[in-house]
Structure 1
Amino acid sequence: MGRVSAGRMETFLAVARLGSIRRAAAQLHVTEAAVSAAVAHVEKQLGAKLITRSGRGIVLTEAGRVYAEYCRGILGLMKEAHAAVRQAGVGRLRIGVVATAGETVVLRPLASFRHRYPAVELSLSIQPRDVLFLELQHHETDLVIAGRPPHAANLVIQARRPSTLVVVGAGQDHDPRHATWLLRGTGSGTREATFALLDRLRIDPPTLTLGSHGAVIAAAREGLGITLIHSDAVGEHLESGALRTIDVPGTPLDRAWHAVTTPTPTPATRLFLAHLIDPQETGTDAFHAAIGP
């Protein structure tokens, strides 16, 4: 079996992601014939059919789905390797965060890090927790700040920051058995924690999914329902009286923030972790170095 170049892997992944030869060609700024030839070359080298026609587009075969997962990991590792041999202070750092952490936990440490190390190329991606940990496993992100990672993910918790989940709502009387519970979208750790709490309470109240973090807070402020949310996210709303904490059995829940990497963090990632746990640099936003699992 011959070798498949990184360029052809990237072309195949574009086709897999977009479900179209035409759209992949447009994104890569090449001809459709070039994309088709690249995919055909990969299939010939592997001796397996990777894509099949479906209506006007294409879908991956089972072999294609398996190969796409390997391609993501291989290409991510190659980019990580390039970053790893650069000096930490002039490298690249890709941080992934869940929405709540992106708005309330990481911005000030990130700002002070950028001021301290202006030559580091930074990017920040806000995604659902499940997406972030999958990207980290594929080396498409260098560091994730979110809840606890899946146990079997072969990821490392490098630092933690205490946080709690509380139930909040506007106004006075909220019976958790009958009030509408406002939910984040699928893949949210807070959404999963909400359903787990409702199961423990053995209640089946109405729910309303609003998707974004900001929409959930706005809906709670307008009295549309109650929600389980990180206390970090609603401090100013509680202080102003726009929201109040609701006494629900089993809450508050201890849900620390975690700074998570692969087992081989890049120099720039290690530099940011050192900054993140340094209270002289990050003050009350500092994380604590993780000890044990």
Structure 2
Amino acid sequence: MRRLLPPLNPLRTFEALARLGSIGAAAHELSVTHGAVSHQVRTLEESLGTHLFHRDKRSLRLTQAGQLYSQNVRQALNLIAESTLKLSIPSGEGRLYVTCPPTLATCWLAKELRDFRRQFPDIRLNIKPQNLDHQNISGASYDVAIIYGNGDWGDRSVRRLTAIEMYPVCNPRFFSDGESPRQVSDFRGEWLLHEDDGGNWKRWLASVGVRVEGFADGTYLWGAHLAIEAAASGLGIAVGDDIVCANYFQQGRLVRLFDTSVPAPGAYYTVCEANRVDEPMIALFINWLEGRMHDAWLR
């Protein structure tokens, strides 16, 4: 039976655009022009006979069909890439040193590693929770670093994993019957759990045009993983996102409050030395991580 395969170059372009969310980012990753990305995606849509994106002047969003298709295409391309890379590892084994922000390591990555070990049983991971930035990245020892920030880390190889949208989360039993706020203006300052100096809450509240009385009365925990865990335990309301809260949502320990979200000031990136990005173990881990995080974002 003849295989009904779409054109493969447009398929690869579509996957990059669906994952990165912008034509500019996809063009940069693929080393092509913005026009080439648009042309390749339209070629794929014509081949499939369906629209994969909603387009307007300010945004580009996957259609429902495009969202499902992007997930399947990503899995297929990752399988091809991983199978190819495995051929490049002579012994099929080794140790990989990875640094990761404590929040991401605790709330998300630790629960995903079983899948990595199942797929790559001979690669031994050494995960170190650590926040890297411009001041300490040069002195850190790692094969791959996962960093939250703006993506500007000199001459290193940098790949964005996902953008982050933030919104309020709390334990489903935090509010007793009839007490749950119907609007943000009902929030009380003592409910707020701050992972920082209050900046994330200020950013979200500004997006909905609300000032909370007693804002400074909230609890300051100085760490997103502490704030998220405290919210899951019923202490108050934290600012969360689809990645670090994914497992809490599945376990029923957190729920989202209100539909409004606001972009985080940074994103998650993988970083490694530019001359090592094609090493099999590094490429396998980055591809796996990219796929798992994208899947969590789609859930």
TM-score normalized by the length of structure 2: 0.48
Structure with larger Rg: 1
